[in-house]
Amino acid sequence: MSRVGRPAGARTGTAVAAVVLLAVLVGYPLLRLALVAADEWPGVRPAGLGEALRNTVVLAGAVTLAAVPVGVALALVLRRPDLPGRALWQAAVLLPLLVPDFVLGYSWTQAYARAGFTDTLLGVHWAGLLGPAGVWLVLVVNAAPLAYLVVAVALAARAEPDLERAARISGAGAATTAVTVTVRLALPAVAAAGVLVFVLTLGSFAIPQVLGAPAGFRTVTTQIYADLSLGGDPTSFVRAVTLAVVLVLVTAACTAPADVLLAPRLRSQRPADARPAAALPARPAVLRGQTLALGGYAGLTAGLPLAALLLASITRAVGVPPTPGNWALDHFRTVLTPRTAEALGRSLALALVAATLLVLLGGLVAVAERRRAGRTAATLTTLTLVLPGSTLAVGLLLAYGRWLSGTLTLILLAYLAKLWAVAHRPIAGALDRFPPDELRAARVSGAGALTAVRTVALPPLAPALLGAWLLCFLTALHEVTMSSLLYGPGSETLAVVVLNSQELGRIGPTAALSVVLTVLVALPAGLLWWASRRWSAPAREVPAGVG
Amino acid sequence: MLAACGEPTTDAGTAAQDLTLYTCLSDETVQPVIAAFEDSAPGASVDLFRAPTGELNARVAADVRSGGLRADVFWGCDPLTVQDLVDQGLVGGWTPPEADAIPAQFRTADYVGAHLLYMVAVHRTDVPAPATWADLPAAGRTVAVPDPSVAASALGALGWFAADPGYGLDFYQRLADAGAVQVRTPDEVTTGVAQGLYDLGMTTANSAYAAVDDGSPVAVAWPQPGAVAVYGPVALATASADSAVAQDFISFAVGPEGQQTIGASGSYPTRPGVTGPSVPAGAPVVHPDWTSIAADRDAVLGGYQRVFGG
């Protein structure tokens, strides 16, 4: 067998692994759900299905159309090393990812609805927040950081400063260059972000429920929840499962064409530049304008709502003015108990293992889909992403509950199934700029397989792998729906212990939990960032005003 | 630690001393009951699975389709859910002798109510308390009601109002005409009223009093003709019909000691004479007819949804 032409054995191994994992994590659980729907179908079309489906698809489209451009704009602005306070902005933009969805809904009403911050201070509130427009805006704000992360890691992997310079020297303006060169090269990542945001919105539940229900705005996921909530009657359970299967079919119909037809056309053939990525400097006026816009955006979308959340965590009751006289640490006392410490350890370990495995799983699909036969793999992973947590957990119980009910292993499988696409898309968005020729060259020159991967493949992919890891880690850390349905004695996760101790929906303790998680993640991240800056400080000139 | 005298029911097998409990009751109530039971029955151990009703139903449905219900005891938060499980042959067929002390409207031959929820009105302190439920719809005030297709307690209230000749679905029509807003759960009603999003609303007494105790600017009213009582039944799984420890647990939960523990934890006990959280003197209470609500569920919900859209 030739040592060079990528051994056929390894290829077959990758393919077999991908097929087996897809069958275990996606195929079999979905099959079990579909069988429930097919075998026990009561024969009555769920009332309001058409309206719920239309709402869901229109909402997902509208959110994608807004969130992806915002994410791209954020990525373009935040890649400038000369942007004052860049690291701070990067963190601020990602903050909403740390907050569980239903608390985010609350924090927006506290900031902008009747009797909220703006109403109290300025006498203005936004009545439309509790309705379709509010659902759309909060979902956009929630999805934009995700789109930003996917595009930013791709830009880091594929910057072409020479091409951009060439465009500018040839007379193109900054905007033209950004659109025709920078974004054009990042199109696969933009598409990946689009698919991810679209599917996540199709499956989003908490925000449509909290902000949409008061206006009678129903989506497929809120309908599924209503069916599960009401009675242990088998008909409503089968109706919920059937709706979930419909949602999966809609997702397949929307993402398969994008993955099979569109994605290969977006890929460019130029190898990535080996030099570190650096954007061209901007004029001071432009930079000032961008900083101002960024500050406004971050302030309105993250600053004010999250300030509301922080105040909720230290204010003793909902509805009393958040002034120092009303501050108390009761909610933190509820959250920080010996039982939660144990559960926190479990959640951290679970999130670490899940995120690490997910990066491997994501990479596996990204490699597999480079061949024609593997393209459907990418679509398949989105099918478990769109399933609401409750239905995915039911699918896993149906498939493996007989052996694994109540174990951490089943919760881990649920995280892997739910987040596979979230790990895969950022990696896929960066991987296509990585032609196999370079690996072959390394192997021909005598490098072993591992050395070739480590020295040739990993460095340009590192930001994407890290980004994917971070997304999965943060999501798994505060996941509540699936673990609250799957846990058993000795496998309670943090969210299960904290949120189950009272009826779900009490704001104070949940806000305190978000604050604790934020600090827990931000502290090590901040230390790492500081350490990495210290080590690399002599190499780079730090602009004044950073940090 | 050794108990001075052994229970006559204890036998050799340790596995027979374990039981799995499925419940939607909050940790604040169920944990003290479990602790008190384990103290009173040395060697007994309770594995708890607690989840909101939606997740709990999903887990039961998944259990049934993957080897059978894994609970020995099911402690629900409304009779409709538990009756559905009885109809599927999953629970029921047994109640303890202690059930006789529980008022007849809180039990059937298959299950017995161990705790109660009351649907009451919560209002901002700067808004007058509604004296009757008919005072809820009023011009210039925003009312919040919980969604009866999500919260069984709200469905119980809907069932009672729909069946009462003085109210009927007309009541909900008047609420909707006055601009009332439907949110998901009773807890969201309480939070929304406390926040100032709404002026008053329909919620559970537990949720409303918790907000009052925290210091939120709200007060609780028990309007005429009465707060709607919703009882939480506890039932034995049919597959565990022979489990002595599961039967002991149910007896304990509705017996004097279990009921006192429930009352002390902040939930309303069903056993007369046991002290629970505050009920104002002479506060009126009404009891929905659960059998007819179960029979008319789809029709009543359909009528409601024509009023509230969705």
Q: Does residue B142 sit in the same domain as residue B210?
A: yes
Q: Domain range holding A503?
A: 32-288+298-534
Of A233, A320, A402, the CB nearest to B67: A402
> How many whole angstroms from its chain centre is CA A284?
33
Residue A67 confidence (pLDDT): 97
**Alpha-carbon span B128 to B134, nearest angstrom:** 14
pLDDT tens readout for residues B229-280: 999 999 999 999 999 999 999 999 999 999 999 999 989 999 999 988 878 8
- B38 lies in a domain? yes
- A457 lies in a domain? yes
In the structure, what pLDDT confidence band is assigned to residue A232 with cuts at 50, 70 and 90? low
Residue A4 scores a pLDDT above 60: no
- A21 lies in a domain? no
Residue with tokens 């537990």: B206
pLDDT tens readout for residues A300-310: 888 888 888 88
ipTM above 0.90 for this complex: no
Q: Does residue B171 sit in the same domain as residue B304?
A: yes
Q: How far is CA B272 from CA A364, B111, B256, B263, in A?
A: 63, 18, 10, 11
Residue B205 scores a pLDDT above 70: yes
**Alpha-carbon span A97 to A306, nearest angstrom:** 11
Nearest-Cα residue of chain A relative to residue B80: A231
- B275 lies in a domain? no
Q: Does residue B147 sit in the same domain as residue B294?
A: yes
Average of per-residue pLDDT across A167-174 = 83
Residue A106 confidence (pLDDT): 78
Residue B296 scores a pLDDT above 90: no
- A543 lies in a domain? no
Under the phi-then-psi rule, with left for phi > 0, alpha for psi from -120 to 50, and beta for the rest, what region is A545? left
- A23 lies in a domain? no
Q: Does residue B302 sit in the same domain as residue B191?
A: yes
Average of per-residue pLDDT across A478-482 = 84
- A4 lies in a domain? no
**Alpha-carbon span A490 to A472, nearest angstrom:** 23
pLDDT tens readout for residues A338-386: 888 888 899 999 999 999 999 999 999 988 887 777 778 888 999 999 9
| Interchain contact, A508 vs B302, CB within 8 Å | no
Q: Does residue B27 sit in the same domain as residue B83?
A: yes
Under the phi-then-psi rule, with left for phi > 0, alpha for psi from -120 to 50, and beta for the rest, what region is A447? beta
Q: Does B52 sit behind a cis peptide bond, omega within 30 degrees of 0 on the bond before it?
A: no
**Alpha-carbon span A86 to A94, nearest angstrom:** 13
Q: Does residue B54 sit in the same domain as residue B156?
A: no
Residue B117 confidence (pLDDT): 94
Range among A406-415, A448-457, B177-186 rated most confident: A406-415
Average of per-residue pLDDT across B21-50 = 92
Q: Domain range holding B159?
A: 117-228+282-308
B positions 227-246 inside 8 Å of A (CB): none
Instruction: With beta carbons less than 8 A apart as the criterion, state whether A438 and A456 touch.
Output: yes
Residue A173 scores a pLDDT above 60: yes
Q: Is A522 exposed, middle or buried (0-12, 13-18, 19+ CB in 10 A)?
A: middle
Within 8 A by CB and 6+ apart from A59, the residues are A132, A135, A136, A139, A201, A208, A219
pLDDT tens readout for residues B299-309: 888 888 888 86
- B39 lies in a domain? yes
Residue A501 confidence (pLDDT): 57
Residue B177 confidence (pLDDT): 92
Q: Does residue B97 sit in the same domain as residue B220?
A: no
| Interchain contact, B188 vs A210, CB within 8 Å | yes
- CATH number, domain of A281, equals 1.10.3720.10
Instruction: With beta carbons less than 8 A apart as the criterion, state whether B171 and B133 touch.
Output: yes
**Alpha-carbon span A40 to B65, nearest angstrom:** 11
Q: Does residue B211 sit in the same domain as residue B253?
A: no
- CATH number, domain of B147, equals 3.40.190.10
Is B217 in CB contact (< 8 Å) with chain A?
Answer: yes
| Cβ contacts of B90 on chain A, cutoff 8 Å | 232
Residue A537 scores a pLDDT above 60: no
Average of per-residue pLDDT across B100-113 = 96
Average of per-residue pLDDT across B53-72 = 91
Residue A525 scores a pLDDT above 80: no
Residue B3 confidence (pLDDT): 42
Indicate the SS3 state at residue B242. Answer: coil
**Alpha-carbon span A53 to A73, nearest angstrom:** 30
Residue of B274, B267, B197, B200 whose CA lies nearest to B232: B267
- A11 lies in a domain? no
Q: How many domains does chain A have?
A: 1
- A17 lies in a domain? no
Within 8 A by CB and 6+ apart from B13, the residues are none
| Interchain contact, B51 vs A210, CB within 8 Å | no
Q: Does residue B288 sit in the same domain as residue B150?
A: yes
Is B48 in CB contact (< 8 Å) with chain A?
Answer: yes
B positions 245-304 inside 8 Å of A (CB): 297, 302
Summary mean pLDDT of chain A: 83
Q: Please count the other Cβ atoms lying within 10 Å of the Cβ belonging to residue B150.
A: 26
pLDDT tens readout for residues A181-204: 878 778 888 988 999 999 999 999
pLDDT tens readout for residues B149-203: 878 889 889 999 999 999 999 999 999 999 899 888 898 899 999 989 999 999 9
Higher pLDDT: A160 or A59? It is A59
Residue A280 confidence (pLDDT): 63
- B156 lies in a domain? yes
Q: Does residue B140 sit in the same domain as residue B180?
A: yes
Residue A236 confidence (pLDDT): 83
- B165 lies in a domain? yes
Residue B134 scores a pLDDT above 90: yes
Q: Does residue B89 sit in the same domain as residue B219?
A: no
Q: How many domains does chain B have?
A: 2
Residue A268 confidence (pLDDT): 58
Q: Does residue B126 sit in the same domain as residue B55?
A: no
- A546 lies in a domain? no
